[in-house]
Each structure stands twice: as C-alpha cells, then as structure tokens.
Amino acid sequence: MKHNESIKCTVEKCKHHCKEDDFCTLDSIMVGSHAMDPKNNEATDCNSFECSC
C-alpha cells in the first residue's frame, strides 16, 4: 500500500495505517493533546486517527 515515508506509525487499528508496514497513508496528520499541560508523549494524540473497526 502507498504510504507516507515521513509519517511512521504503529497504530495498526487506525484505518489510515499502512497494513504492510509501520507507516501512515495520509499526506499529513494533526497531532494534539488531551492534557491541559502535556509533559510526556503519553499526553499527545494523533487527532487524525480513525478506528478501522
């Protein structure tokens, strides 16, 4: 599957994930945070995520 070499991603349950390897298929993504004062990477999110379920 064609993917974006600049966006590595391991979230296989996202419908934008390249199922063949660990990349995203979108041209760009939006990253945000669900925390008021993010201090580590667990506080950040890919807001372009869409469940493949």
**Positive or negative: CA dihedral 24, 13, 21, 32:** positive
Q: Is 48 in the site for ligand SF4 (CB under 6 A)?
A: yes
Residue count, binding to ligand SF4 (CB under 6 A):
12
Restricting to residues 8-47, name those near ligand SF4 by CB under 6 A: 9, 11, 14, 16-17, 24, 26, 29, 46
Contact in structure between 25 and 12 (CB atoms under 8 Å): no
Beta bridge partners, 17, equal: 24
List contacts with ligand SF4 (CB under 6 A): 7, 9, 11, 14, 16-17, 24, 26, 29, 46, 48-49
